[in-house]
């Protein structure tokens, strides 16, 4: 096994220098000067554990070198929160197995709101109106189908679970200042806003649609096997309110799976910081960077860990932004009654909203946001399948040997001081470092989002990836669903991940097949 693939992963060796590592992150990735100054506010060491417990956690989370058998508790990727329910199309919609009876009731209320179909205002169903005026979906579940993975339009299907973010480079000093101090992470299109909205309430036109075409690119693997990668192209069509800004770029995003989010939220920042190497000081070509954002309710610097570009620090914020931008519903955290409507869409701004004063000052008041957040925090990770299978173990060894585990970090122990005991002090296996990595020009979307450049993406967690077909009926992967299977997804990896991608391509077919078999077991 090549030693560089496990750099930074043996945390015990890093304990004496973790403070220096944390400071290096603050000044090493060169985002805005404001962010550089405040990033050291993040703890560089775990402050929730005593030294003896920390040493034990380090031993438990150090990547294995023994591939002859499954590791202890490997079949429980979400710790005690793992669901052991029967595997079927609803397996991603199960609650954390260790929550209380009372919390199970809260989870079910959140589930009902997650599935709730909203309508335009005014409506006789006052507790359900306020949709839009512009929107991409009428319910959270419409994008996160069965709490799983979205897909690009295929065979005439709609693009509900695929969205297009809009942004352009700053053109004024004011725009540059807003980006520099993280008051904004992007500059939206002046007419169409931060996201192209295909749908609208009655009496208003949707903003437009995107045409997608693909170019097939052949790739030859070891042994002469040839596979085809499809390279997408996107073009805005039938725009209702004039052209996009000349510098506006389109970034396609399919909805990611919802499982395990609450556990990810409870990974201690120090454990994520410890794996970053923004200047590639060890020279292995891997230079993962943290994404620093602002926590909207406090304005303080926070570690971005959610979203394709690690642009969101908390599940609550992710939920509030989805309410506002995807469905045009205001919440206490994002009180935009007209959602993503801009000043250049006056007809949109003039339409009524769904605020009911007897229920609160927003269309989706505090109880709604609280319940949806709790639901999202407690969607359980399913138990592993076939962790002890000989081919799976062989594939696991190939996965580590190819260098995939350098970014897809296998395991963590969540915070002991988590606000919900069910999510605290759990050994989890997400297979991600939650850092930004340069994935090469092939996957570039042309957008800078906060600290994430056009070629940079957060390492996607892999838990549950083998159940995509079972839950969602497809195997489309990556941020835009271009990959039609796991092999294609690996072969699209470029930039920092290109050496690992090349090692995969050079494996004999039985070993490649075993590596895919390992991924399918997650």
- Closest C-alpha to 445, from 140, 25, 163, 160: 163
Is residue 92 located within the same domain as residue 114? no
Tell me, what's the pLDDT at 350? 96
93 lies in a domain?
yes
- Residue 246 DSSP SS3: coil
- Residue 326 DSSP SS3: helix
- Residue 428 DSSP SS3: strand
- Residue 82 DSSP SS3: coil
349 lies in a domain?
yes
Q: What are phi and psi of 457, to 5 degrees?
A: -140, 150
Domain boundary residue, one of 347, 377, 407: 377
Neighbour tally for 394: CB within 10 Å: 18
Tell me, what's the pLDDT at 157? 52
Is residue 302 located within the same domain as residue 180? yes
Is residue 176 located within the same domain as residue 312? yes
266 lies in a domain?
no
What is the tally of structural domains in the chain? 2
Tell me, what's the pLDDT at 43? 86
Tell me, what's the pLDDT at 169? 95
Is residue 373 located within the same domain as residue 470? no
**Alpha carbon distance 189, 196 (integer Å):** 9
Round to the nearest angstrom and report the end-to-end CA distance of the chain. 22
Is residue 233 located within the same domain as residue 334? yes
Tell me, what's the pLDDT at 8? 37
Is residue 141 located within the same domain as residue 240? yes
Is residue 343 located within the same domain as residue 276? no
The answer to whether 372 touches 108, Cβ cutoff 8 Å, is no
264 lies in a domain?
no
The answer to whether 440 touches 449, Cβ cutoff 8 Å, is no
- Closest C-alpha to 408, from 332, 461, 448: 461
Tell me, what's the pLDDT at 362? 96
Tell me, what's the pLDDT at 155? 61
What is the pTM assigned to this prediction?
0.91
**Alpha carbon distance 471, 482 (integer Å):** 19
248 lies in a domain?
yes
**Alpha carbon distance 515, 511 (integer Å):** 6
148 lies in a domain?
yes
Is residue 17 located within the same domain as residue 118? no
The answer to whether 430 touches 461, Cβ cutoff 8 Å, is yes
The answer to whether 440 touches 493, Cβ cutoff 8 Å, is yes
263 lies in a domain?
no
Domain boundary residue, one of 377, 405, 420: 377
**Alpha carbon distance 362, 355 (integer Å):** 5
By residue range, what is the domain housing residue 205? 101-257+296-377
- Closest C-alpha to 206, from 122, 136, 117: 136
Q: Which residues on adjacent β-strands are paired with residue 232?
A: 214
Is residue 68 located within the same domain as residue 160? no
Is residue 221 located within the same domain as residue 360? yes
Is residue 87 located within the same domain as residue 219? no
Is residue 87 located within the same domain as residue 36? yes
The answer to whether 103 touches 422, Cβ cutoff 8 Å, is yes
**Alpha carbon distance 340, 135 (integer Å):** 8
Task: Profile the chain (522 residues) by mean pLDDT over runs of 10 residues.
Answer: 37 28 25 36 89 97 97 98 98 98 98 96 86 96 95 70 95 96 96 97 95 96 96 94 96 97 98 93 90 91 97 97 97 96 97 92 96 98 98 98 97 97 97 98 97 98 98 96 98 97 98 98 98
265 lies in a domain?
no
Domain boundary residue, one of 362, 377, 392: 377
Tell me, what's the pLDDT at 1? 35
Phi and psi based region of residue 129 (left: phi greater than 0; alpha: psi -120 to 50; beta: remaining) = beta
């Amino acid at each position: 096994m090549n030693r560089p693939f496990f750099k930074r992963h043996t945390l015990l060796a890093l304990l004496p220098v973790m403070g220096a590592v944390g400071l290096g992150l603050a000044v090493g990735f060169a985002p805005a000067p404001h962010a550089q100054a405040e990033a050291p506010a993040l703890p560089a060491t775990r402050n929730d554990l005593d030294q003896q417990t920390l040493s034990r956690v380090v031993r438990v989370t150090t990547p294995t070198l023994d591939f002859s058998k499954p590791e202890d508790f490997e079949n429980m990727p979400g710790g005690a929160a793992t669901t052991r329910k029967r595997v079927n199309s609803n397996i991603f919609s199960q609650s954390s197995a260790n929550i209380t009876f009372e919390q199970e009731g809260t989870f079910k209320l959140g589930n009902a709101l997650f599935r709730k179909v909203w309508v335009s205002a005014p409506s006789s169903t006052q507790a359900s109106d306020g949709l839009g005026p512009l929107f991409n979906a009428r319910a959270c579940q419409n994008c996160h189908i069965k709490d799983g993975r979205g897909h690009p339009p295929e065979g005439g299907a709609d693009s509900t679970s695929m969205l297009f973010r809009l942004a352009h480079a700053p053109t004024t000093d004011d725009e540059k200042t807003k980006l520099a101090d993280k008051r904004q992470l992007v500059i939206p299109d002046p007419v169409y806003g931060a996201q192209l909205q295909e749908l609208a309430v009655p009496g208003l036109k949707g903003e437009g649609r995107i045409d997608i075409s693909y170019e097939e690119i052949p790739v030859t693997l070891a042994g002469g096997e040839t596979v085809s990668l499809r390279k997408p192209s996107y073009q805005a069509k039938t725009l209702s309110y004039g052209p996009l800004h000349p510098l506006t770029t389109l970034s396609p995003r399919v909805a990611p799976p919802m499982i395990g989010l609450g556990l990810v939220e409870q990974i201690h920042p120090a454990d994520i910081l410890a794996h970053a190497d923004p200047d590639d000081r060890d020279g292995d070509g891997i230079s993962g960077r943290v994404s620093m954002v602002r926590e909207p309710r406090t304005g303080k610097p926070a570690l971005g860990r959610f979203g394709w570009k690690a642009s969101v620090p908390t599940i609550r914020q992710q939920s509030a932004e989805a309410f506002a931008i995807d469905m045009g519903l205001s919440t206490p955290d994002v009180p935009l009654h007209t959602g993503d409507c801009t000043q250049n869409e006056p007809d949109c701004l003039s339409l009524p909203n769904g605020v009911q004063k007897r229920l609160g000052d927003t269309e989706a008041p505090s109880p709604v946001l609280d319940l949806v957040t709790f639901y999202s925090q407690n969607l359980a990770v399913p138990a592993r399948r076939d962790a002890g299978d000989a081919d799976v173990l062989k594939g696991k060894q190939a996965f580590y040997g190819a260098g995939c585990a350098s970014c897809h970090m296998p395991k963590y122990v969540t915070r002991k001081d988590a606000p919900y005991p069910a999510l605290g002090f759990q050994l989890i296996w997400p297979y991600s470092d939650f850092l930004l990595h340069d994935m090469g020009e092939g996957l570039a979307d042309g957008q800078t989002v906060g600290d994430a450049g056009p070629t940079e993406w957060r390492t996607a967690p892999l838990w549950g990836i083998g159940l995509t077909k079972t839950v969602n009926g497809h195997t489309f992967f990556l941020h835009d669903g271009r990959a039609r299977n796991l092999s294609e997804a690996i072969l699209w990896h470029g930039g920092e991940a290109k050496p690992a991608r090349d090692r995969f391509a050079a494996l004999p077919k039985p070993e490649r097949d075993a590596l895919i078999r390992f991924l399918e077991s997650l």
